[in-house]
């Protein structure tokens, strides 16, 4: 279950337990990372679908791939496990997101700091380029901010077509940088014939 509280007009964010995330601040933790104060909570036992606000499409690996180092894209929502992500708390209000189907995590390729860096699925670890703050922005949508760069998950060139790739980019409050993080129903299982 996802629980939301609104930040006050003074930018105050309320912590909601050990699993809270949200509210990026200008300070840092070690001189290079973004810091975060809590605003929402995520159930670590649940899976979530990330649905682009602008496109109404789900985030998943290109072609439903199980391979590491594969780009993420927006695609027609199918309810299948390759479009479902489990949040794992990494402390300080950051989460690593593990794919339910293949066990790989959302990662900024090569820990790049630049706009346009590829967002991929990769073997899960503790590196900060796999850690994301989830901030409630508007209308129940969220902004996903990479801990290592302070940049956000972004649908490339504001695309709305299936197959448009995901990258990191400087936050500009665009709808292509906002995602509904919906607790998913049990995955659809297709039996072989």
- Residue 40: pLDDT over 80: no
Q: What is the total count of domains within the chain?
A: 1
Is 24 part of a structural domain of the chain? no
Confidence of residue 187 (pLDDT cuts 50, 70, 90): low
Residue 133 belongs to domain with CATH number:
2.80.10.50
Confidence of residue 188 (pLDDT cuts 50, 70, 90): low
- Residue 55: pLDDT over 80: yes
Is 65 part of a structural domain of the chain? yes
Is 107 part of a structural domain of the chain? yes
Mean pLDDT of 1-9: 34
Residue 178's domain comprises 47-183
Q: How far, CA to CA in Å, does 48 sit from each of 8, 10, 28, 147, 185?
A: 27, 30, 28, 20, 8
Is 6 part of a structural domain of the chain? no
157-172 confidence digits (pLDDT tens): 999 999 999 999 999 9
Q: Output the pLDDT for position 54.
A: 96
Q: Output the pLDDT for position 152.
A: 98
* The overall pTM is greater than 0.95: no
């Amino acid at each position: 279950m996802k629980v939301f509280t609104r930040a006050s007009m003074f930018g105050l964010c309320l912590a909601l337990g050990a699993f809270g995330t949200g509210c990026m601040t200008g300070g840092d933790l070690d001189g290079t990372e973004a810091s975060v104060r809590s605003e929402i909570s995520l159930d670590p036992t649940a899976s979530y679908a990330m649905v682009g606000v602008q496109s109404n499409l789900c985030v998943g690996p290109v072609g439903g791939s199980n391979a590491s180092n594969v780009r993420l894209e927006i695609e027609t929502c199918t309810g299948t496990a390759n479009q479902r992500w489990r949040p794992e708390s990494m402390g300080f209000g950051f989460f690593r997101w593990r794919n339910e189907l293949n066990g790989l995590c959302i990662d900024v390729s090569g820990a790049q700091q630049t706009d346009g860096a590829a967002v991929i699925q990769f073997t899960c670890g503790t590196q900060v380029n796999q850690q994301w703050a989830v901030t409630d922005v508007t209308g129940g949508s969220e902004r996903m901010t990479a801990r290592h760069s302070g940049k956000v998950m972004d649908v490339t060139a504001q695309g709305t077509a299936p197959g448009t790739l995901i990258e990191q980019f400087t936050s500009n409050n665009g709808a292509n940088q906002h995602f509904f993080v919906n607790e998913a129903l049990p995955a659809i299982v297709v039996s072989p014939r």
